[in-house]
Amino acid sequence: MAVAATLAATIPKVSDDIVCKIVRGDLDAAVVTRDEQLVAFLDNRPVFKGHVLISPVRHVHTLLDLPEELMQPLLTLAQRVASALGDALGADGTFVAMNNVVSQSVPHLHLHVVPRAKRDGLRGFFWPRTSYAEGEMADYAARISQALQRQLP
C-alpha cells in the first residue's frame, strides 16, 4: 500500500496543468480572448510571434476526450483567430494544428494557430521556436484581441 501511495504522490493532478493554472488565474498568460467555454492565449515559446493556443476552459485531456458541444466553438474560435492574425499582424495565412498524446507537451487539449508568411522558412512539421522581447508579448496579445473584437457585430 505504501508503494501505491508514493506512486500516486508523484503523478501530477491533471487539473494542475499549465492551461488549468492559466484558467484559474494561478499563472499569468497573454490572453487574447476568453469566454465560459474557451480561452485563447499566446504561446510563450512561439513558432512565430503571434502564435495562439486555444483550449477548453474545463480540463479536456485530448481530442478523443473533447465533448461534442465544444467541437464547433473550438473550430469557430480557431477560424476567428486565424482571421485576426491576418488583420492584427499582416499574416499571409496560418498553420492550425493539434497534437494528440504524442508530442502533446501539455496534458490539456490545445489547438495551435500560428501566423504564417510566404517564405517564412517553416517546413513541414519542423517547429523552430522564438521568443518575445520585453513587453512585446503584451503588445501582440492586445493587437490580436483588438482584431477579434472588431469581428464582433
Q: Residue 125: what pLDDT? A: 63
Provide mean pLDDT across the span 10-34: 83
Q: Residue 114: what pLDDT? A: 96
Better-scored residue on pLDDT, 78 or 152: 78
Q: Residue 10: what pLDDT? A: 36
Gap between the Cα atoms of 113 and 53, Å rounded: 6
Q: Which of 7-16, 95-104, 144-153 has the lowest mean pLDDT?
A: 7-16
Gap between the Cα atoms of 53 and 137, Å rounded: 14
Arithmetic mean of pLDDT over the chain: 87
Gap between the Cα atoms of 84 and 77, Å rounded: 10
Gap between the Cα atoms of 127 and 125, Å rounded: 6
Provide mean pLDDT across the span 123-141: 84
Burial (Cβ within 10 Å: 0-12, 13-18, ≥19) of residue 104: middle
pLDDT in tens, 40-63: 999 999 999 999 999 999 999 999
Gap between the Cα atoms of 98 and 148, Å rounded: 21
Which domains are seen in the chain, by residue range?
14-151 (3.30.428.10)
Q: Which of 120, 121, 5, 125 is nearest to 112 (CA)?
A: 125
Provide mean pLDDT across the span 14-39: 92
Gap between the Cα atoms of 40 and 77, Å rounded: 9
pLDDT at residue 99 is higher than 70: yes
Burial (Cβ within 10 Å: 0-12, 13-18, ≥19) of residue 62: middle
Better-scored residue on pLDDT, 95 or 4: 95
